[in-house]
Structure 1
Amino acid sequence: MSKIAEKCCNPLIGIIIFLCVALLIILAAVIVLKLSKTSDGVVPEAQKLVASTEETMTTKTTKIPVKMSEKPARNVCESRECIWLAHQLHNYGDSKADPCQDFYKYTCGNFKEHTPIDGSRLSFKKQIVGRLIEDFLLKNETSSSKSENVLRMLYGKCEELKNPRVGDRKKGEIYRDLVDDIRKIGAWPMIDPKWDEKNFNLNHMLSTMASLFSLRFGLFRIVAINERIEIRPDPPLRMPLEELFRVT
């Protein structure tokens, strides 16, 4: 017993025992911490994994490689006519003008500078339409349009009048038709040697002219304005009556 007591009273043995106990306590604490982290850290790891996957997904969707050679489609007319018209409209405007102060000058300030001297844009369009009609008539092609066929027929009749024989014959027909139309209205003393003044009826003549949609009767004319019919002198008086009959 004395030997065991001496060994226990040895300070070196006490230090070793203390270190062993402390090491056991530290190991126990580390094991407890690891167990607590594994039990409580399952959900955070999963959340972290989901967040990381979402982050990678967002980065994948936002960072799509785009080829620099491909251009987005534009709903813009790029034909030769559209480019010419856009260039012309752009030249008509005056960029120095303030559109809030003078919008007309801003859009049409340089119109005169870019307009041909021989005519306006309307006359230019008339020339184009005239050339198109001339080309259409000279080609003499068949068409399903009624108006185009009538136009070609009238053009052919006018071309026939260039022949002197045909022209004289057509003039005689025109004069006979004109005389027949005059006789429908009433007798005319200049062409009727049997004309009798007693049988002349002015009311009948005027009503007949009106039935033929004639609005000019020589002495006066009928004018319809806003569902109102007016009778005015023909030719119209261009000065007051006092000045018209004033003696100088």
Structure 2
Amino acid sequence: MSSVSQSGEEPVFSLNTETPIQSDPISTRIRATATAKATSNSPFIAPVEPPSNQQTNTQRTDHFAQVPKLAPKGTNFLAFKEQWHIAIAAAGYSHLFDTSFIPPTNPKDPEAPGYIAELTIFQSYTRLESQARSLLTARLDDRLMCKVMKGSTRVLDIWVKLVEQLQVKSEIAISDMKADWEQHTCGPKVNLIDFLAEDQEMVDEIENAGGEVSDSEF
């Protein structure tokens, strides 16, 4: 623990190095939750292993045509997340967003058996990693991009930080939108056609953000 001199001299601080430094349990829990939610829970079948590198860059990029740009406040994150998982599965990037995936390493010894094969695998991995990182960051505004890029070494790091930053915010935003919709009532002097149009617009906004409005809620 720290101690401070009680004399008139400059305070002297001493650190007891025997006391272990513990991480913030709340931050640790948030990080663990974000890591778990970063993995797709889509019911669709995803590739079991990284596909062969047969698609061209243009073909891969085409799969992301329907992935929207992430809203500045992340209000469309849940919908964005679903579209993103569909795109990376089609483009062959899913393994890069799998927390259990272990990236290949750059072989050091050119004389070692299998060096060329290992180098080819590593180069393929780094190429896919760069492409995925470019596609993801292109859909973020500058402020958010700088925030999630800081300290990241893989595209998975960026993705986990996005989930950590926006998953809860998006869920809260949807909850607020649903609360506003539930309070939306048609008064005696309100035009019914206008009311129904506004009501449908609110429902569309909820669903576009990734929320659901069941028939029983109407």
Higher helix share: 1
Considering only CA atoms, is the larger Rg found in Structure 1 or Structure 2?
A: 1
Higher percent of residues as strand: 1
Higher RCO (CA-CA < 8 Å; seq separation 6+)? 2
* TM score, norm. by length of structure 1: 0.19
Question: Could you state the TM-score of these two structures normalised by the residue count of structure 2?
Answer: 0.21
